[in-house]
Chain A
């Protein structure tokens, strides 16, 4: 295997890890601030699943890096010592929570994408990726179910909740194009995932009498390390102790 090929592979894995971690970081802002205790606990379970996925991918990426060059990367050096331009997460993950509607709509759009992706990656030739996908998809299936039910509930709840859901869809939809445009960071042809994803979204939206936006301009850049302004703030908070005390163990 050539070095080039390997580094491409490493970026593929980092991309998956970064998306999971950054969304976990956002969702964790709800912990202790949720709309009701039961849902505070529910979204936090999703947060913990995402951190678990991120750790699995980072650990694998670290092992790939360390085996090719004499390095000593760990899950933490990868999460805590890379810069804004090195993070490869999808943009949608770093957007602010705004409100519960934004949070559940984002979770639904993202988890439905992850679901298709992991489904495909279960067939991947790389054993480690296959194993992580197989473990993660069970978690993701629940995230999709939970968030879809919330989208329907809010879309078809009160006038206010419907209004907020529409706003969330309008704000978040432009960040879904990036899911399906192939970049070197993608492990597979992601454009193949779009149809199944859109079918799922359409069905759920239909149940809540919400319409799927069409002909919308799509933002991109996350997979190339070109982010929104939000990411820098997320990282400066997340990484502060590791940056402040270089080399310390925690």
Chain B
């Protein structure tokens, strides 16, 4: 089969909603796009552990502590599932880790914002996980099989994350004056960065078209963002709090919420590494990886010794 025929039959499969599996022929660019997207997604889970892990030692009750630990641990699991999915495309986890640690690979910019108060644990769960889930539900139907299967598992586990976030805020919203202020402040700080999570506007996004044709992505950035705004603008009423956007209002004609303009300058600055915590997050990942090197080496050395002993015995 010629390359053109291969590409044609590949696209036919995609169009017929047949999943692509690791051993199937695929265009190099499809492979690369998937590696890039899946590994970025994995990195986001791993870096995303840091801002929340930050509050484990200070969680205000034993129940909240257990929930928070379980949630951060889930994110480690999700990173692991995603790295495994990327590994089916022929890249090793080590390579991906190195790309993350060297600053070459990108991860979701949202995790470069600081978690300043306990209410941030609620806001991150409700808004950040809420935004992530919209993306992830879409990705359960992505065209690359291992990625789609990882996402199905992740979505199943993730369902408690957003709920616990909202519940955390709900308790604060019914609490003391200080707690209510803490709640509103966290929403104010996390709202705009959450909207930025969906990425640049469709008119400016470079990766979107091909990704949609290959059904790696199935909805555009703007579609998902609008869906998110519609959802949150309703849910916030239950908290008795407000979203920090004077332009937010229901539009009868569009049957959608209108909302204000995102500060794109801030967006691109954080992407470029100038967010409040970019350096801190990378330093933490590097520290964990470097300090773990001797542990990983010891386990390999011990396994090798044991293997040699058994082959010796057998001989």
Q: Given the complex of chains A and B, what is the CA–CA distance between A199 and B262 in angstroms?
A: 65
48-64 of chain A: CB within 8 A of chain B: 48, 51-52, 54-55, 58
**Contact-residue bracket for chain B:** 35 or more
Can you give 5 contacting A-B residue pairs, CB < 8 Å?
A: A32-B288, A33-B288, A156-B302, A161-B298, A241-B58
Let me know if A6 is at the binding interface, CB within 8 A: no
**Which interface residue of B57, B65, B69 has the most chain A CB atoms within 10 A?**
B65
Give the contacting residue for B292; candidates A35, A51, A238; CB below 8 A.
A35
Q: Given the complex of chains A and B, what is the CA–CA distance between A34 and B63 in angstroms?
A: 23
Which A residues are in CB contact (< 8 Å) with B83? 37
B279-315 interface bits toward A, Cβ cutoff 8 Å, 1 = contact, 0 = none: 0000010011001111111110110010000000000
Let me know if A40 is at the binding interface, CB within 8 A: yes
Q: How far is the CB of B296 from chain A (nearest CB, A)?
A: 6
**Which interface residue of B49, B50, B64 has the most chain A CB atoms within 10 A?**
B49
Q: Given the complex of chains A and B, what is the CA–CA distance between A152 and B302 in angstroms?
A: 9
Which A residues are in CB contact (< 8 Å) with B79? 37
Let me know if B179 is at the binding interface, CB within 8 A: yes
Closest to A241 in B: B60
Contact of A33 with B284 in the complex, beta carbons under 8 Å: yes
Which A residues are in CB contact (< 8 Å) with B302? 152-154, 156-157
Let me know if A193 is at the binding interface, CB within 8 A: no
Contact of B295 with A250 in the complex, beta carbons under 8 Å: no
Let me know if B145 is at the binding interface, CB within 8 A: no
B interface list, Cβ under 8 A from A = 46, 49-50, 53, 56-66, 69-70, 72-73, 76-77, 79-80, 83, 118, 168, 171-172, 175-176, 178-179, 284, 287-288, 291-299, 301-302, 305
Which B residues are in CB contact (< 8 Å) with A54? 62
209-245 of chain A: CB within 8 A of chain B: 237-238, 240-242, 245
160-217 of chain A: CB within 8 A of chain B: 160-161, 164
Which B residues are in CB contact (< 8 Å) with A7? none
Give the contacting residue for A35; candidates B46, B50, B56, B291; CB below 8 A.
B291
Contact of A41 with B76 in the complex, beta carbons under 8 Å: yes
21-48 of chain A: CB within 8 A of chain B: 21, 25, 28-29, 31-41, 44-45, 47-48
Let me know if A146 is at the binding interface, CB within 8 A: no
Give the contacting residue for B80; candidates A37, A164, A241, A242; CB below 8 A.
A37
Which B residues are in CB contact (< 8 Å) with A241? 58-60, 118
Q: Given the complex of chains A and B, what is the CA–CA distance between A245 and B58 in angstroms?
A: 13
Give the contacting residue for B62; candidates A31, A51, A161, A240; CB below 8 A.
A51
The 3 closest A-B pairs by CB, nearest first: A35-B292, A157-B298, A161-B298
Contact of A238 with B69 in the complex, beta carbons under 8 Å: no
Q: How far is the CB of B102 from chain A (nearest CB, A)?
A: 18
